[in-house]
A and B are shown apart, each in its own frame.
Chain A
Amino acid sequence: MKKNGKLAQSYLVVVFLVLYAPILYLTYYSFNSAGTMQGFEGFTLEWYKEVFHDTRLFIIVLNTVVIALLSSAISTILGVVGALAIQRVRRNRPRNTLLAMNNVLIVSPDVIIGASFLIFFTMIGIKLGFTSVLLSHIAFSVPIVVLMVLPKLQEMSPTLIDAAKDLGASGWDVLTKVVLPFLRPGIFAGFFMALTYSLDDFAVTFFVTGNGYSTLSVEIYSRARHGISPSINALSTLIFLFTISLVVGYYFLTRRSSRKPDWGVVQP
């Protein structure tokens, strides 16, 4: 295929600049001793020190990570079970109903998910806080995991299972030694997807978190509403670095596992 012309290249450069401008801007002013997002006064690490000494913030980060890991682990298990369930339903109608149900939470706006869960938790008497946030994160992650695992499951040849059974494997053996290893890429993808959704979620959490319990995005929201605070800048720089390191790690991980050079692929 043809290479891009000058115009195309400059367009892409502009798009990338705009995409990264806010992030770089935040990072730049996290070192500003004036503590504002204008007029760079001098270099300082004070705000980073403040972030590391802020125990409240530390607890909130811990909350966020615990919720993310727990919810994605549980939703991965439920999602795999769900995918196996949907796969086994042979008739079209109930199967489509299940798939449609599965898609409801994926396409619903976060505000509606949050509002309906708020009503739900209040009605059945679950106190708003850790439990409600965890349950709602699991709830919106399960369908994502199902959607990541299901295609892999459909890809699997049924003869694999027949062969395992012929060779004397019990139902449990078939599941743990044949099906699950085959599904592993899908399961991992689902887990990471659930993790990022959970870490990124604001709207749903904002609805179902009560007083006293907070996750990172809710905390950032309430701080940002009070105007500019340099510790958010420092925090976002740290989050950005963490994200980048995850991406780089993921990049090398996928590179090692598949010998195919699928990064920077050859042009068709």
Chain B
Amino acid sequence: MTRTRNLYLIPYAAWMLLFVATPIVLIVYNSFFDVEGHFTLGNFQKFLTPVYLRMTFNSFWYALLITAFSLLVAYPTAYWLTRTKHKQLWLLLVIVPSWINLLLKAYAFIGLFGTYGFVNSVFEMVGIGTQQILFTDFSFVFVSVYIFIPFMILPIYNAIEELNPSLVYASRDLGASPWMTFRRVVFPLTLGGVKAGCQAVFIPALSLFMITRLIAGNRVVTLGTAIEQHFLVTQDWGMGSAIAVLLIIVMAVIMLMTGNRGARNTIR
């Protein structure tokens, strides 16, 4: 190719500068100001108080739980999906629910988990009796896992599809049991997909706020909820920005640790 001036770069770089770099710089800048607009480090100091530290711990704990459960459900699903007839069609059927608006699904669970909802009537029938399901930690984790499952299944499915089947045959021929083949051959070779899936679930799970509001009824307060609260309810943008900045730092660390691949875009 001849050396031509890269005219395309101007609009693109300008756009990225304006809509990627500037907002981030602004959010960092904002985190150093209090409500009255004075320069302060107080926001970060406030973050180090037990209230916020517990919130941070909670967010990570829930995000970890959500990721772990998603993986636990998604891996067998993906594994067995690759071995069905018409697997492309089945895979599509897994993806379709992820196209339905997240809020509609959360809304459905309000009905399903309600005091007189479907789940409780089943409980009633088998004799467990009505339970409080909505507004508990369980319902929060369950709904989140439900929402993230397709994002976990897809990268794992792709990784298993890429696996050369002759490796599995070789391992079986050499006398490994099915479990051993899975543990020593299949799982290590699909670890890339697992990582991508975990990343696609963990980061959004850290900042969920609509589900905490709708399903967990403000019982679970995550960093995402706190940011939303500070920006839209109490209007304390400085504190909200400070939390956001810390979340960005944590995210960057996670990305560096797992190798940065835009995993979220592997679906839809």
Contact = CB atoms under 8 A, between A and B. Distances in A.
A23 interface: yes
Given A19-B97, A107-B262, 9 more contacts: A37-B112, A37-B117, A108-B251, A117-B23, A119-B241, A135-B19, A199-B101, A244-B96, A268-B165
Interface residues of B, number: 88
26 contacts: A4-B84, A11-B80, A12-B81, A81-B8, A82-B15, A85-B6, A88-B8, A103-B262, A107-B251, A107-B262, A109-B204, A109-B207, A111-B227, A112-B227, A115-B227, A115-B231, A116-B24, A120-B26, A123-B26, A142-B19, A220-B101, A221-B103, A224-B103, A224-B110, A236-B100, A236-B108
Interface of A: 1-4, 8-9, 11-12, 15-16, 18-23, 25-26, 29, 37-39, 78, 81-82, 84-86, 88-89, 98, 100-120, 123, 135, 138-139, 142-144, 147-148, 158, 161-162, 171, 193, 196-197, 199-200, 202-203, 206-207, 216-217, 220-221, 224-225, 227-228, 232, 236, 239-240, 243-244, 247, 251, 262-265, 267-268
Contact of A85 (B8, B112, B265): B8
Given A25-B118, A142-B15, A103 B210 contact: no
Contacts of A118: 231
B247 A112 contact: yes
Interface in B229-255: 231-232, 237, 240-241, 244, 247-248, 251, 255
Nearest to B74: A15
Given A25-B112, A116-B26, A243-B100, A101 B227 contact: no
B242 to A, nearest CB: 11
Contacts of B248: 108, 112
Interface of B: 1, 4, 6, 8-9, 11-13, 15-16, 19-24, 26-27, 30, 73, 76-77, 80-81, 83-90, 92-94, 96-97, 99-112, 114, 116-118, 121, 146, 149-150, 165, 199, 203-204, 206-207, 209-210, 213-214, 224, 227-228, 231-232, 237, 240-241, 244, 247-248, 251, 255, 260, 262-265, 268
Contacts of B264: 106-107
B232 A101 contact: no
Contacts of A171: 4
Given A106-B262, A119-B237, A243-B99, A158 B244 contact: no
Q: Count chain A CB atoms within 10 A of each CB in B97, B108, B210 and give the residue with the most.
A: B108
